[in-house]
Structure 1
Amino acid sequence: MTVTGNTAADQAQRNTEIVLTAMRELFKEKDVTALDRHWAEPYVQHSPQMPSGLDTLRAAVPGLEGFSWEPKRIAAQGDLVFTHSIVHGWAPNPVVIVDIFRLDNGRIVEHWDVIQDLVSADATVDGNPMV
């Protein structure tokens, strides 16, 4: 029998697993029913190009061509999960995105993002990679 703990670390781990599963199912598998399992209304969207509510995601996901989400770093604190990823197919060129997801009762209910064009390390001023 597995006992699930209630510590902050346990909550962070559960929330991280929910976000990774939700993003894989929705964006990699293009299973829009993932929205019913892993998101909840009211879904508050802070991205300046997208309105709040799940209908926007329901409409956008099936039309995404060549989309891939490659999380490189993940952190969680309390009800927040942060991902630092390389994304193809969201914009004309690859982008680096920091997504912040807020969960409530095991469902994603709020989202923020910061998006930058991906630049190779040799093209940056300091030679450091973006991810």
Structure 2
Amino acid sequence: MTRDAIARDDHAEGNVGIVLTAMRELFVDKDLTAIDRYWAEPYVQHSPRMPSGLDTLRDVVPGLEGFSWEPQRIAAQGDLVFTHSIVHGWAPGPVAIVDIFRLDEGRIVEHWDVVQDIVAPEESVNGNPMV
């Protein structure tokens, strides 16, 4: 492995730690000051139901009831961090969410997600769990 590849891996690993801490502090602990520590403007949101900008997070988080975020898989490449999680309290039932975060200088500046209702393996045509 080259020195550049090692540096990129270290960078990605550091970004994973930032995302995990940021998500726990904001969404689980409901600490709105986490936004100032881990996110930065311009915050570009690609989720179809949320506008861009950090004020959206400040408005949404306090109203989340029974919210839990349980990351099952995490991957990173350079400035991108990918999480595959079980989430309660975002939708009427539990959902599987793949979140993609882009970081710039250690701060989350962009977000994409894919959200699916969780279907039990015995109700799925393939019999496999979703997460």
In which range does the TM-score fall when normalised by the shorter chain?
Answer: over 0.9
Counterpart residue identity of residue 118, structure 1: I
Structure 1 equivalent of residue 60 of structure 2: 60
Once the two structures are TM-superposed, the CA of residue 120 in structure 1 deviates from its matched residue by 0.8
The TM-score normalised by the length of structure 1 is 0.95
The question of 1:86 aligning with 2:86 is answered yes
The TM-score normalised by the length of structure 2 is 0.95
SS in 2 for 1:66: coil
Which of the two has greater helix per residue? 2
Of all paired residues, the percent bearing the same amino acid is: 77
Structure 1 equivalent of residue 74 of structure 2: 74
SS in 1 for 2:41: strand
Structure 2 equivalent of residue 49 of structure 1: 49
SS in 1 for 2:116: strand
Structure 2 equivalent of residue 3 of structure 1: none
Counterpart residue identity of residue 123, structure 1: E
SS in 1 for 2:59: helix
Counterpart residue identity of residue 61, structure 1: V
SS in 2 for 1:83: strand
Query: What does residue range 1-131 of structure 1 map to in structure 2 within 5 Å?
Result: 7-131=7-131
Once the two structures are TM-superposed, the CA of residue 111 in structure 1 deviates from its matched residue by 0.1
CA distance in 2, matches of 1:63, 1:86: 19
Counterpart residue identity of residue 89, structure 1: G
RMSD across aligned positions (CA): 0.7
Moved over 3 A (4+): none
- Give CA deviations for 1:52-78 in whole Å, capped at 9, x if unaligned: 000011011011000000000000001
- Give CA deviations for 1:73-126 in whole Å, capped at 9, x if unaligned: 000001000000000000011000000000000000000000000011111101
The answer for unaligned runs of 5 or more in structure 1 is 1-5
How many residues get paired?
Answer: 126
CA distance in 2, matches of 1:57, 1:90: 13
SS in 1 for 2:11: helix
CA distance in 1, matches of 2:106, 2:113: 20
CA distance in 2, matches of 1:81, 1:40: 16
